[in-house]
Every structure is written in C-alpha cells, then in structure tokens.
Amino acid sequence: MLTMENSTPIDRISNLPDELLCHILSFLPTKVAFTTTVLSKRWTPLFKLLTTLHFHYESVAWITLSDITFSSFVDKVIFSTKLIKTFHLNCHSKHSYRFNHWIKAAKQHPLENLELCSTFHYLMITLRPSNFIFPKLVVLKLTSLKVDDFISVDLPSLKTLRLIYVNFTTKDNFNKLLNGCPILEDLETRDIYCSEQRDGAGRVKTLSNLTRANISTCYVPIKAIPNVQVLHLQGLHLDREIKSFYRDFLVLQNLIHLELRFNNIHHWNDDVMKVLKNCSKLQILTITKLFDLYNQTLDRIWKNPKSIPKCISSHLRSCTLNLDGIIDGSQFATYILKNAPLLRVMKINALAEPRSNQDALKELESCPRISSECELSISFTEYEFWR
C-alpha cells in the first residue's frame, strides 16, 4: 500500500484533454487564465486556444497595474488568440483610443457573444457606426456607451440584446438597431437616451420572434412585440404608456408574465383592468409603484368591471403588489382574491403603515378567497426594497 511519504503526486488536471482544460479556463477572467502559462509547458499553448475572453479593468487583477499594462495585455491576447467566440470588455473611458480597435480585431472572428461596457456611465465611450455588423453574433450587451450617428446594422443571428445606459444620437439609430435583429428573442432596454428626435425616423418593425422584453414603450411600442411571453414594462408615469395595450385593441395572446413598474398611475379600472383584458393567458402579475416625490397615491375610487378578465378567471396563479401603502392596492387585491380561482400566491409588500390604514389591512386579511389554495402574504418595510 502506498503512503503519503512514498507516493508520487500525480498531476491529473494537466492530463485532461485540451478541449476540457480550455473550457475550464473560459470561466476565469482572462488575466487569471493567463497566469496558468507559468505552471508548466503543458499549459503554455492552451492560452492561445481559448475561445472566451474576459477583460475587466476594474477587477482586482488590474487594480495595481497601469493603464498601459492593461492595454498592452489586451492587445497581446486578442491578436494572438486563434479563435474568439465570446468577447467581454469592461474598461475605463481612458481606454477609448483603443476600444474600437479591439472590437475591430474581434470582428475578424466568428463572434457569438459580445459584451461591451464603459466603467462609468457619465464617461461614455463612443462606438463606431460599423460596430454593428456581426453575421454570427447571438448575444449583444452594451452598457454605458454612446452610439455614433449613421450606424450600419446587420445582426441576422442575434437572439439576445441588452442596452443599459446607452446614448443614441437619434431615435432613428435606435430603431435601426432593432430592425437589424430579425430573429431577436430577448430584449432589455434600460435608461436609453436619444439626443435628437428627428422627423421622419423609421419605425420599429414587428419583432415576431421576441418572447421576453424589459422595456419602456416610449422606445419600443407594444404592437412591435405581439408574441411576447414575459414582459416587464417600466416608466416614470405609465398612464399614457400602458394605454398602448388597448389603444389599438392589441391582444397579447402569448403573454403569461407581466410586470408593471411606475412612479405614478391612476384609474385602476380604466387602465390596469383593460390591460388584463388584453392578456387572456396571464399567469403571473407584478405591479410595483416606485418612490413618488409628490406622494400621490393610486386612484382609490374602485369600480368592479362589468366582466371578469379571462386571465383572472382562468389562468392567474400569482399576484405581487409592491406599493407605498396597503390602501393603494387593497381594493384591487380584494378583487383578485375574490375572482381568481387558480390563484396560489398573493403577495403585498408595502412601506410601514400609519394606523389610519389598518382598516384596509383588516379587510384584506378577512377577505374571502375563491381559491382554497391561495396564500396571502403581507409585509411592511421602512425602505423601498423592491427598487
């Protein structure tokens, strides 16, 4: 029997196939993966075989190194790697002089996943107009960047698009980007800004493949995503925006998960209930009222609809309300509890309540539920934890 004293250590990891070792290294920041080249000659050639590159300037690996060192390292790696499929670049605006150069180099490879980020959204890096032509790209994520004017877009394979803190010169350029993604399935647009609203801007074409969206309708109209299944709709004042659900009698037949986030909205009966009537298969509903500077509450004049929306009577299983106070949504919650036979969960999260609203709380807790399996959960907090 071998003992610890006379046994010879076996390097089992180094004996693994190149493909498996490269797969393991792909989960590490590129700077860390590069350090494995000093382990032995076995590891040296593996670095050039990596297909996934992650460059994050703010990571611990770079915090004590100079800007020139970071730029030189990116240059060395990107120009020596044989095949790049995933390229993530997060750097400071002071690297802007090399930023587009690195993207141009990455474009020489069959990229499938591209994630670009400027460290500070108030010091954005500008993307060149030609940086939106990738025939095989499947995932594109842009954060804290400016998009130059007169962009050319060709993203025939793109399925996922994330735009966070992105500044477009015109809305027409934003529309061009969406229209250049014919098979897009997943879209998120948050804090989008268009410097100019020029007349004659093209419209967003129908994104028939889109099934998931986290958007504001001021940039992406509801009628452009008729087949969406999961929809997060955000806006400071959604009164006018959610009207786009029913203004053109649009019915979202495939929608099963809806989340509305807003600062202020009135008329549950006129707006939210009409939205629900146009989402006949809805199963999950979340309504979040964010901080309101003027402390305006939701309309408390409740009128029962003449007919129960089909989604409530036949499909709704979960309803979550994140509100300033219980009284804001008590009548709506009561209506759901009384008319949703398949409801399993009703959650109400509210800011700490004054004693004057205790009546609404008691009414909710004693409300008869048509679903015997429904669990009612009410919680209070001093902070807006759902922001």
Residue 302, pLDDT > 80, answer: no
pLDDT digits (tens, 9 = 90+) for 83-95: 899 999 988 767 7
CA pair distance 111, 22, nearest whole angstrom: 17
Count of beta carbons in the 10 Å neighbourhood of residue 163: 23
Give the separation between CA 379 and CA 298, rounded to whole angstroms. Answer: 19
Please compute the mean of the pLDDT values over residues 48-61 and round it to a whole number.
Answer: 70
Look up the pTM and report it. 0.82
286 touches 323 (CB < 8 A) = no
- Which residue do the tokens 């099963």 mark? 256
Each residue's pLDDT tens digit, 193-248: 887 766 555 788 999 999 999 987 677 888 899 999 999 988 655 555 566 555 55
pLDDT of residue 69: 79
Element housing 284 (H / E)? strand 284-289
Residues with Cβ < 8 Å from 65, sequence gap 6 or more? none
Residue in 215, 250, 220, 252 with CA at minimum distance from that of residue 235: 215
